[in-house]
Chain A
Amino acid sequence: MISIDIKKSFKNANFHFKTQIQDNSLNAVFGKSGSGKTTLLRLLSGLETPNEGIIKVDDKTWFDSKNKINLPPQKRDIGFVFQDYALFPNMSVIENLRFAQPSKDENFLAELLDIIELTNSQNKYPELLSGGQKQRVALARAVAKKPKLLLLDEALSALDSVMRVQLQDDIENIHKRLNLTTLMISHDIAEVYKLASNVLIVEDGKIKKSGNPDILFENSQLSGKFKFSAKIMKIEQADTIFIVTLLIQNNLTKVVATQEEVRTMNIGDDVLVASKAFNPIIIT
């Protein structure tokens, strides 16, 4: 288990993060930009030093301001996936992965290459890879030394939706295969629902809430059997009712709504679509 209680102040922002993270859990860090998600990950990794507080991972102390303990990133046993990939341009795919391993384990590297589907491109240099491939290499590199904690800093935000889904599958596979404790920053509710067992909602430099992904819609009173997170794409009037076009994963769908309901909706909103399972049609 990882317990965190740390404070950090910058010129115009103050952060105080306090939470506990279960071993082998996949946690989504959710929140608006500027709320402190990246700072949380950087403080955990040791790339940024808290002003005060404590970070404990199992019985090991990574940071303790009172006892002047501050392990450098090198000693924290982490994997970090950067938003801009940060692949070493002077090394090929396989060399990037090898560089990450303290002791050689070619079998594991072969397995990783297989998961990220780059076995045939292992000798290519990063500049010849697509954005999605680069991020898959970055993910594989981060786990090549089998770290205790995997941190993903908006790793998927630069990718198109097809690549995103692929990367999500990679993250899920790697998480299952290695049983890593994972923290990933995400803006995408669908992604959070798909991957995470726990969500940390970060707001104004604090962890406001944490719990299972349903807390993202804690205010809704629904108890539907089917739930999908969706984005509102279009709202149009048809006689006395309204038709709302929604994007669920990669599918567009239309749902009717009353004038009353539409009043609180805006195009671009993330919403939850729920349906009670009275008469679902299952097509096999």
Chain B
Amino acid sequence: MFFETMLLTFKVALITTIILFLIGIPIALWISSTKSRLKPIIETIVSMPLVLPPSVIGFYLLIFLGPSSAVGGFVEEWFDMRLVLSFEGILIGSILFSFPFMVHPIQSGLQSLPKSLIEASYTLGKSKLQTLMHVQLPNIKNSLLTGIVLTFAHTVGEFGVVLMIGGNIPGETRLASIAIYDEVEALNYDLANQYALTLFVISFSILLLVYVINRKFSGVLR
């Protein structure tokens, strides 16, 4: 039971991080380089999870992804997949909720690079994609790492959204943070402590690792 829950927790966190890494880079790139009037709107949407209570996001996801909604009904009919009270559901919730934790560090990393680096790459005949892969991303390793770790750690610690959209199905949607709440309610303090301590130690180790690695990266640049 304990291991199943921890494994599920890290599975959700890992998949969320990978997906957000892939969609976070183009979005951060767009925000950091656009002059479009839409920019403040997109920035606001990306940042909303920072200020909204998780239960609000969870509530709307429940409404919009439920089997009786247009989106939920469509997915259920065509892909035979239920988006609420399911693994897929908490994955969608986690991705939306951790959005700013991936996009913000990458965005500020890209913005901190001198514009002349990108222009130099263009004048050397390199396309936008080549410039991104060979110049921009390799020079913001710190930011990429920060985005990855914050997203991962934040997903591991997520409670409200997951509870609202996923419920508490063992092995399917019960994540560690929910299990703690559950065990405390049932007065199983020992088991609750086991979950809590595990999360504490893992989070501490991950963050420590990031700061050590970041120090190394910036050491190279000095």
Which residues of A line the B interface, CB within 8 A? 45-47, 72-76, 78-80, 82, 84, 86, 88-90, 99-100, 102, 125, 127, 141-142, 145
A82–B221 Cα distance when bound, in Å, is 20
Kindly state the interface size class of chain B when it binds its partner: 10 to 19
* A88–B139 touching, CB < 8 Å: yes
Interface flags for B98-133 (1: CB within 8 Å of A; 0: not) read 000000000000000010110111111111000000
A80 nearest CB neighbor, chain B only: B123
In the complex, the answer to whether A102 meets B138 with C-beta atoms within 8 Å is no
> CB < 8 Å: which of B114, B125, B139, B222 contacts A145?
B125
> Given A74, A79, A125, which contacts B127 in the complex, CB threshold below 8 Å?
A74
Q: Which residues of A contact B126 (CB under 8 A)?
A: 74, 99
Q: Which residues of A contact B116 (CB under 8 A)?
A: 82, 84, 86
Which residue of chain B has its CB nearest to the CB of A88? B135
- B122 A86 Cβ-Cβ under 8 A: no
CB pair B138–A47 under 8 Å, yes or no, is no
CB of A217 to closest CB in B, whole Å = 34
Taking chain B's interface residues, is the majority helix, strand, or loop, or is none over half, making it mixed?
Answer: helix
- Which residue of chain A has the shortest Cβ distance to B127 in the bound complex? A74
> With A84-B116, A99-B134, A127-B221 as given contacts, are A47 and B124 in contact (CB-CB < 8 Å)?
no
Give me 5 other A-B pairs in contact (C-beta within 8 A), A86-B117, A88-B120, A88-B134 excluded: A74-B122, A74-B126, A80-B119, A102-B125, A127-B221
Write the nearest CB–CB distance from B54 to chain A, whole angstroms: 38
The 8 closest A-B pairs by CB, nearest first: A86-B116, A86-B120, A90-B138, A80-B123, A73-B122, A100-B124, A82-B116, A73-B123
A47, A102, A127: the one within 8 Å of B119 (CB):
A47
Q: A74-B125, A100-B124 are in contact. Are A84 and B114 (CB under 8 A)?
A: yes
Contacts of B119 in A (CB 8 A): 47, 73, 80, 82, 86
Residue of A nearest to B222 (CB): A127
CA distance A72 to B123 in the complex (A): 9
Contact present for A86 and B114 (CB under 8 Å) = yes
- A88→B117 contact, CB < 8 A: yes
In the assembled complex, the CB of A179 is this many whole angstroms from the nearest CB of chain B, namely 20
CB–CB A90/B139 < 8 A: yes
Q: Kindly identify which residue among B114, B124, B139, B220 contacts A99, using a CB–CB cutoff of 8 Å.
A: B124
Q: A residues within 8 A CB of B139? A: 88-90
Chain B neighbourhood of A102, CB < 8 A? 125
B124 contact from A46, A72, A145, Cβ within 8 A = A145
A47 touching B222 by the CB < 8 A rule?
A: no
Give the residues in chain A near B121, CB-CB below 8 Å.
88, 99
Q: Distance in Å from the Cβ of B215 to the closest Cβ of chain A? A: 16
- Chain B 10-40 against A: per-residue CB contact (8 Å), 1 yes, 0 no? 0000000000000000000000000000000
- What are 25 sample pairs from A and B whose C-beta atoms fall under 8 A apart? A45-B123, A46-B122, A73-B122, A74-B123, A74-B126, A74-B127, A75-B125, A79-B123, A80-B120, A82-B120, A84-B114, A86-B116, A86-B117, A86-B120, A88-B117, A88-B120, A88-B139, A89-B221, A90-B135, A99-B124, A99-B134, A100-B125, A102-B125, A127-B222, A145-B124
B119, B124, B220, B221 interface centre (most CB from chain A within 10 Å): B124
